[in-house]
Each structure stands twice: as structure tokens, then as C-alpha cells.
């Protein structure tokens, strides 16, 4: 990135930070940053700048419905760590701090980045906690179908799972210029929620579960032109994320047919609304289980009200909320929610979180034999 462009982005962020924080000394700080960029080609964010920038990234997250609480984000500056093992141990500390026995706290940890002149890190998992997926000899999937490819990659590194539907994947961490390393997640470090239903005793016998804290670990945090490819962060789950998507989606655990059979529903035709009925029971089970076990979870109706309150607060500050409607509106009971009837611009602001390519996928593609068959240039497959 040209020095002038980096300074412009730094200036834009620092002006916002100093203005919103009612701080003096902006011109002096800008002079420091400009000199640092001219001398080294980059600059280093202070701990306070990093903390506020991370909170702004959450406030600007177009696809997040939980932004009402952006000011409460706990930011852990861990840029001094220098090995994959240190990052792993600190990720466990992140989990503990965020979990709090079930009283989930929004937390973000930031590790070294090449953009500040260090040897940066990447966590290759989508989330710190995720369940494995295995392809069985008969072609069926055991566990999470979304994790099959990554599970195979982990096994190629030497990891072995227990071959259950809810195996914890290892954490795979890579420091720039070094091979990836995997680390087994200790069972006692991960809070799981066993699923049961308040009315159906047979539900518990299905042996279903989910983990308490969704720590996203594969997105890039950008603040003032500086990118942090390793910045895992979490809020708490919304009911539909687990019930309607993770457990209910056809491409994931696909539990609706299983529940429909237990409920003796007529699945011969979709017009019997058997999917709707099964999904309702699944949502009741997830909500009941998290609440009865004291683990933070928000239902989609409450989340909708919270997001509209966020919009109201932002409006009172003279700020325009940016949001991706398709992500803000939950997949269940959509038209009964206030967010369904709203419209927003979807401009990407800075600071923010961004998707980034997965190094392990690039490694896997590199292993594939070169094909002489010409492919369609417009195909992503």
C-alpha cells in the first residue's frame, strides 16, 4: 500500500477516534504516525487505539444483529506473542474469559500482524470451537458436513478424531513463514450444552448438543489501514443460528427429518408443514436447554428489538446504520420481526471485519494434479 494511502486511512480513523473519545493531541499523534510511516512503511496502533478500533469494527459490522452492545466489547491486545503455541494457550484463555461459566461476554483478541512489521499469525479454523465432519464409506456424513474438508485437512496434519457426531476439531495455527501446527482442544475448556425439550422426554435421548461460545476466528480485522488476519472475536448465540441453521439446515446436521419422524409428522408432502413443526420443536429445545443450563442465548424476537434500539441510538448520534438486510433478518418468523420491515444502506465502513482466503484451502489446491481439461472461466468450481 502506498505510504500516502496508508496515512490517509490512519488519519481518517484517528480523527474519528479522537473526536468520539473527546481527546486532545490529534495533530501530534498524526505527526508521529506520518513520520513512522515514512521511516518504516507502516505504523503501530496504540493499545487504546486498537481497543476502540475493534469496538468500531463491531459497530460497523453490516451483517451483525447484536451491535447494541458494541461499547462493552472486551479487547485483549496479544500482539507481543511470538509462537503458535503461545497463541494457542492464549486462545484457551480467550475461551475462558468469554465463557464465564455461561454468562457469555463479548471478547476479541488481537495477535501480531505483518501490517505492523511483525511475523503475523493466522488461525485456520472458522471458529475456535467447531465440530468435525467425516465422510463414511456409504457416503453419509457423520458430524458437521460443513467441516468435512477442514477435518480432512486436520487429519492430513496428523490429528485423529474420535469419530462421533460432536468431535472437537483441533486449533490449527500458522505463523507467517512457518508450517501450520495443530493443537487439541481440551474438553474441559469447552462449555457444551446438552439439548433436551421441556415436553418431549425422548428428545434428550437423541444425544444432541452444541457449544456455548461462537468465537469467529477466520476473519480479518481492519483498523486505520492496518489489517489483523488473526483477531478471533465472539458475541453470544442467537437461537436461530443454532436451531434453524447449524442443526436444521439440510447442508448441516439436517435434524428436521429426524424430529419429524419422532413427532409422527406426515413428511410425504411439504404442504403438511412438517418442516415448520419440527423446526419449532427444535427451537424450543435449544432455547430451553441454554436457559435451563444458565448459558447466554438471545431469541430472534428480542434480538430484533435490540437491533432497532441500536439503530435509534445511532440515529441520535447523527450516524447512519449500514446493514445487510438478508443477514439482519433471521430465517425464522421473519415478517413478525421489526427488522423485516426496515431498509438500510449497505456501505462498508472502516474499521470493520472482512472475509479472507483460507491458507489451508490454497495448500489443498496446490496438491491437486494439474488438469488438461479446460474449465469455464466463469466457474468457481
Q: Is 187 a catalytic residue?
A: no
Whole-angstrom Cα distance, residue 12 to residue 8?
Answer: 6
Q: Is 341 exposed, middle or buried (0-12, 13-18, 19+ CB in 10 A)?
A: exposed
CA distances from 181 to 97, 111, 163 (A): 24, 16, 21
Q: Annotated catalytic residue: which of 210, 236, 274, 360? A: 236
Question: What ranges do the domains of the chain cover?
Answer: 44-318
Q: Annotated catalytic residue: which of 67, 76, 79, 122? A: 67
Q: Annotated catalytic residue: which of 78, 241, 311, 360? A: 241
Instruction: Show the cell assigned to 230.
Output: 488473526
Q: Is 241 a catalytic residue?
A: yes
- Each residue's pLDDT, cut to its tens digit, for the chain (381 residues) gives 788 899 999 999 999 999 999 999 999 999 999 999 999 999 999 999 999 999 999 999 999 999 999 999 999 999 999 999 999 999 999 999 999 999 999 999 999 999 999 999 999 999 999 999 999 999 999 999 999 999 999 999 999 999 999 999 999 999 999 999 999 999 999 999 999 999 999 999 999 999 999 999 999 999 999 999 999 999 999 999 999 999 999 999 999 999 999 999 999 999 999 999 999 999 999 999 999 999 999 999 999 999 999 999 999 999 999 999 999 999 999 999 999 999 999 999 999 999 999 988 887 777 766 544 444 433 344
Q: Is 325 a catalytic residue?
A: no
Beta bridge partners of 107: 74, 234
What is the domain class of 44-318 according to CATH? Answer: alpha beta
Q: Annotated catalytic residue: which of 29, 49, 59, 64? A: 64
Of 282, 298, 151, residue with least CA distance to 208: 282
Q: Is 160 a catalytic residue?
A: no
Beta bridge partners of 178: none
Amino acid at each position: 500500500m502506498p505510504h500516502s494511502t496508508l496515512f490517509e486511512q490512519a488519519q481518517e480513523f484517528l480523527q474519528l477516534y479522537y473526536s468520539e473519545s473527546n481527546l486532545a493531541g490529534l495533530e501530534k499523534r498524526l505527526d508521529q504516525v506520518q513520520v513512522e510511516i515514512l521511516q518504516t512503511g507502516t505504523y503501530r496502533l496504540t493499545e487504546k487505539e486498537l481497543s476502540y478500533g475493534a469496538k468500531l469494527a463491531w459497530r460497523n459490522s453490516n451483517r451483525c444483529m447484536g451491535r447494541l452492545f458494541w461499547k462493552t466489547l472486551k479487547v485483549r491486545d496479544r500482539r507481543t506473542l511470538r509462537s503458535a503455541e503461545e497463541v494457542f494457550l492464549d486462545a484457551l484463555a480467550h475461551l475462558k474469559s468469554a465463557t464465564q461459566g455461561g454468562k457469555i461476554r463479548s471478547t476479541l483478541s488481537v495477535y501480531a500482524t505483518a501490517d505492523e512489521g511483525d511475523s503475523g499469525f493466522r488461525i485456520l479454523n472458522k471458529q475456535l470451537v467447531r465440530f468435525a465432519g467425516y465422510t463414511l464409506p456409504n457416503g453419509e456424513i457423520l458430524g458437521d458436513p460443513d467441516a468435512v474438508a477442514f477435518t480432512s485437512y486436520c487429519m492430513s496434519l496428523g490429528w485423529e478424531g474420535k469419530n462421533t457426531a460432536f468431535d472437537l476439531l483441533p486449533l490449527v495455527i500458522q505463523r507467517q513463514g512457518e508450517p501450520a501446527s495443530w493443537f487439541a482442544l481440551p474438553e474441559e475448556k469447552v462449555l457444551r450444552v446438552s439439548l433436551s425439550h421441556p415436553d418431549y422426554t425422548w428428545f434428550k435421548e437423541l444425544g444432541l448438543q452444541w457449544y456455548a461460545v461462537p468465537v469467529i476466528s477466520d476473519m480479518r480485522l481492519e483498523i486505520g489501514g492496518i489489517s489483523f488476519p488473526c483477531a478471533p472475536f465472539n458475541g453470544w448465540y442467537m437461537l436461530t443460528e443454532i436451531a434453524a441453521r447449524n442443526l436444521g439446515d439440510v447442508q448441516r446436521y439436517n435434524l428436521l427429518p429426524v424430529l419429524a419422524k419422532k413427532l409422527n409428522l406426515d413428511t410425504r408432502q411439504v404442504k403438511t408443514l412438517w418442516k415448520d413443526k419440527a423446526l419449532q420443536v427444535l427451537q424450543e429445545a435449544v432455547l430451553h436447554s441454554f436457559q435451563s443450563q444458565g448459558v447466554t442465548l438471545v431469541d430472534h424476537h428480542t434480538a430484533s428489538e435490540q437491533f432497532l434500539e441500536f439503530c435509534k441510538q445511532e440515529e441520535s448520534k447523527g450516524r447512519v446504520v449500514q446493514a445487510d438486510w438478508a443477514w439482519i433478518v433471521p430465517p425464522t418468523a421473519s415478517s413478525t420481526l421489526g427488522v423485516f420491515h426496515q431498509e438500510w444502506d449497505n456501505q462498508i465502513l472502516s474499521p470493520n471485519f472482512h472475509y479472507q482466503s483460507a491458507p489451508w484451502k490454497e495448500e489443498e489446491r496446490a496438491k491437486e494434479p494439474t488438469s488438461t481439461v479446460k474449465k469455464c472461466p466463469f466457474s468457481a468450481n
